[in-house]
Structure 1
């Protein structure tokens, strides 16, 4: 069996760049659009950058941790890369599509593999209404913010905001408030992944709000619509002994 064509991408850290040089000398380098597989060297932030930049190429991505956070990454080893890729298990992720309308009337679109979050921009709490599939569900949420998280992203910001961890492949997304003041007892909701979520900022001039899809921030939004992408998917590759489904399950039993 011939060696796959590998696109090697690395974060700018010294450690990741050293690994890039080592692996390039052993396996060569191909452009992502010409490769069979993309190898990302860095942390979770760099993995998300890689997915945003190269998801449309449709190539599976195998990450190795050379950064501060690596939930989406495999352990780094400089040898046996081809064998590890061949034995890796796929995890298919479907991102969220965000459409944000700003005070100026501009509409900005972006993708999120972890979460879309709305946050207050000033010291004053945000006032946000929530519609699901066009039907009002919460007339006014007073909060620091609110988010919609994917299963892959449910262990990140969502979990730190006391949101639930979602099993991979569950076809569920998490709607989670951030420091909610009212309604006091509302702790969020679990929604079918096909649900269209719309946030309406009720007092955008006095209480401005920003929207962030992973790391792409849009400020001064007045309305944000989120739904799972119907057409775009990405495939991450994981070593069998440390696959993403097992990691998500293990996170629920950390004491």
Structure 2
């Protein structure tokens, strides 16, 4: 129970990697505020966590909207008086080759993946600076290094890495750590939609020989959120079975 009595926000936690992160954090004792644009899926996630004996609440939020983000943090702080952990997981993809990406799909991906992460980090930073403690974990992607058909997604995740390192430099002396995790090929709603041939091609690139699970990412988040990781700051950690070296 490394995170007992701690309050965490996990964005995009209704399903997939975010849900896996929420499951691990609650199992470690944290009260997790599940945030997502999908209220039905978010409430279902919270119901499942509570049924397992864990502490969880749902707060709807579109992280690309500054007013909704402010309302999310105001709600959490008014209810609990503190925020110990922020996990910026919410993200979307609108994949296409560079010459075919529409301006609308470029803007949508940047708005959620990069602007949304910034908005949440800004709110968390204001509170954590005053408290002199806190953990921010940003979920980037192995694609930040570049990936065919993902110019918008890769650019947004590279931006998240830059945000992470800058925030580390600004917040470290305030007792706040800011790290990024880059999941590799994870078995999730997003990846299950790819053709079987593409799935196998991706798995073949992984030295471990299999796709990861959302809980693999969650375990890394839990470690970074714990006291054991107090001296780990500004890092970009791959969780991908060796796919990115």
Q: Same fold (TM over 0.5)?
A: no
Structure 1 or 2: more strand by fraction: 1
Larger of the two Rg values belongs to structure: 1
Bigger fraction of residues in helix: 2
